[in-house]
Amino acid sequence: MITSRKYSLKQGFTLLEVLISMVVIAFLSIAFIRIFSTTLDATRRINDRNQLLYEAQIAEKVMAARIKLAWYVYPNGSRILINNGQTTFNALAGSNTWTVGSDPIIAMILPPKIPGRVSQCSTSNPEYCFRFFAYYAFPRSHYLTSIAASSAEALFPDPPNDSTWVLMEFRANLTNYHIGCPTIPPPNNDAVYAGKKARLLAEYVQPESTSPSYTIFTVHSDGTIDLALRMLKHTSKRSYHAPLASQPALTFSAAPRNIGVGCSHP
């Protein structure tokens, strides 16, 4: 019996061995959790940056499509007062007026959806009217104060990103509005623009003055427009740049194809 009991004890684990095993398992678990967390964090960073890039690409494609259709592009130096609305306010300059070439704005006129019947342009026949489009940027914080929190267009408050920009699109059918040839008067709070709001095109746009600096819109004398976008989003842990700060901005160049086409109105 004694021999059998000793043999049984030798086949088991001592308390020290159990403790050592527990320590080894604990260290392996910690190492696994760290590797998993690091991998998960890296994946999240890549996904967030890719999402920002995707939004920038969509915004540039939308703007480029409008530019290519443009009948007229407002040149540098044009002063534009769209209306007195909050979503058209130049919050960067504290003014209702935007200046092409100085402020982050481009503006253009597109031909009617159905050409050749401009004389029939009216509020009931907007498809025969020339169309005004403008794209511009201002701080995200201004957008939050411009749109009611109960609106479907409202954004969630995000204080770390109040200083980042949003990119806006304003459009209006120029009903009963005479367009001279070849001189096009810029918007000056005309009735045709009254009561209309701009729409959000993209958020988390990097301000032009931050590092690395860049220019969103560059208007050339022939109406060609260079677009450049950088995206920036701040979180509690880090800031996301898309493209990376070490990389050039996401750029696109678009030339209007309908400059002055059908200038004599029927």
pLDDT digits (tens, 9 = 90+) for 133-181: 999 999 999 999 999 888 989 999 999 999 999 999 999 999 877 677 7
Name the pLDDT band for 257 (thresholds 50, 70, 90). Answer: very high
Q: Where are the domains of the chain?
A: 46-254
**How many Å is the Cα radius of gyration of the chain?**
29
What is the per-residue pLDDT across 87-126, written as a single tens digit (0 to 9) for each? 999 999 999 999 999 999 999 999 998 887 888 888 899 9
Helices (H) and strands (E) in the chain, counts: 3, 12
The β-bridge relationship of strands 199-205 and 98-99 is unpaired
Q: Is the pTM of this model over 0.85?
A: no
Total residues belonging to the chain: 266
Q: Please provide residue 122's backbone torsions phi and psi, each rounded to the nearest 5 degrees.
A: -165, 175
Report the range of poorest mean pLDDT among 29-38, 87-96, 223-232.
29-38
Report for 12-16, 22-26, 236-240: range of highest mean pLDDT: 236-240
pLDDT computed for residue 25 by the predictor: 80
Query: Could you tell me the sign of the dihedral formed by the alpha carbons of 185, 188, 194, 200, in that order?
Result: positive
Instruction: Say what the pLDDT of residue 265 is.
Output: 43
